[in-house]
Chains A and B, each alone.
Chain A
Amino acid sequence: MQTQTLDTFQVIADPSRRQMLMMLSKDSMTINSLAENFDMSRPAVSKHIKILCGSGFISIKDIGRERHCTLKQDGFDELQKFIDYFDKFWSSKLKKLETLLNNKSKKK
């Protein structure tokens, strides 16, 4: 089975997928019961689910004949990784700017 790889930000940029995550944050749900809440075809829902699963936001577990979706940490960790990266990036850049400004005023 080919899993679609989408960047984390693209995954959550879709409002339907965010809504699915929101619903799953209350409880794990079967794909069928999730689909009932969306005005889209079952294959379209499955495609979103596949993307969420492929990017580590949810896991799917087969229980009986039903497929249960549960939130998973990995996708969220990926987001946090980005934020942490840029947070450190800017703090070191702004420090560098301070050094430059200080050096400049020394030269005067």
Chain B
Amino acid sequence: MSKSIKHTVHYSHKSKDVWEYLTKPELIAQWLMPNDFKPIVGNEFQFRHSCLPEYNLDGIVYCKVLEIIPYKKLSYSWKAGPGEGKISLDSIVTITLIEKDNGTELTLQHDGFTSLNNSVFAIMDAGWLKNIKKINELN
């Protein structure tokens, strides 16, 4: 059970090739989602996916480019919600590339909402078992 989202993957390709797939809308669409991304800081763009009623997400991700360091780092905000522009999920995606072992190591972190969660999970960890025990004693 993970409490934060971080993935590290090694690709046997040059960082320049991987970068293209992170920053060209038609290439991003091939592995991620249809989008209107532009590699400009401050640029607002959207991802589209099918709606996920069980997660209360309407299928539009509202994003804004926060940081670009060519071939090294890309970060954008990731906001989504149940519809009508309402935002319930306010998070940040950061992707970093490092040239390593004749290839590229990609690290993707999706947080903001998870760091908030962590404090709530800490609450759960601290109190939950103890409380369960108490409830059982009451019954």
Q: Which of B27, B123, B135 has a CB less than 8 Å from the CB of A21?
A: B123
Question: Quick one: which of B59-93 are within 8 Å of A by CB?
Answer: 81-82, 88-90
- Give the size category of B's interface with A: 35 or more
Q: Which of B31, B116, B127 has a CB less than 8 Å from the CB of A25?
A: B127
Q: Are A12's CB and B120's CB within 8 A? A: yes
Type the 1/0 row for A1-19, where 1 means its CB is closer than 8 Å to any CB of B: 0000001111011000010
- CB-defined contacts of B81 to chain A, threshold 8 Å: 7
Any chain A CB within 8 A of the CB of B2? yes
Query: Quick one: closest B residue to A10, CB to CB?
Result: B88
- CB-defined contacts of A71 to chain B, threshold 8 Å: 123-124, 127-128, 131
Q: Are A98's CB and B128's CB within 8 A? A: no
- CB-defined contacts of B134 to chain A, threshold 8 Å: 27-28, 70
Bound-state CA distance A18–B134 (Å) is 21
Any chain A CB within 8 A of the CB of B43? no
Q: Which of B30, B55, B121, B123 has a CB less than 8 Å from the CB of A85?
A: B55
- CB-defined contacts of B4 to chain A, threshold 8 Å: 83
Q: Which 7 A-B pairs have the closest CB atoms?
A: A25-B127, A7-B88, A97-B31, A25-B123, A96-B31, A25-B126, A76-B124
B-side interface residues toward A, CB under 8 Å?
A: 1-5, 7, 9, 11-13, 17-18, 21, 27, 30-32, 52, 55-56, 81-82, 88-90, 106, 108, 110, 113-114, 116-117, 119-121, 123-124, 126-128, 131, 134-135
